[in-house]
Amino acid sequence: MHIVTPQFLDPIAAAGIRIINLHPALPGEFAGAGAIERAWKAGREEGLKRTGVMIHEVIAEVDAGEAIVTKEIELREGESLDELEERVHKVEHGLIVEGTRKALGI
């Protein structure tokens, strides 16, 4: 969990290398650390019905790069934070493989 700067990213991009990241939220939602907990809390307090996982290209803005692949995850009424975290991590394990394959064009 590091924020990378343009000084780091620019030479890598110039070399034609893509960097991807796994983030436990959907594009434009819950950027940064603690995304699963913030989504769970929004479900309980604001009626949010779903969260998700995305694999995205890394840019200087945190968790804002173009999504390569996403998967929605339903927020379940009465589900504990630990239960949601376990379900999100299961999705992450498969999605990182799919996102890596797409990023590599295989």
Residues with catalytic function: 23
Whether the CB-CB separation of 36 and 89 falls below 8 Å is answered with no
Whether the CB-CB separation of 33 and 1 falls below 8 Å is answered with yes
Q: Which of 13, 36, 42, 7 is nearest to 24 (CA)?
A: 36
The DSSP 8-state label assigned to residue 61 in this structure reads S
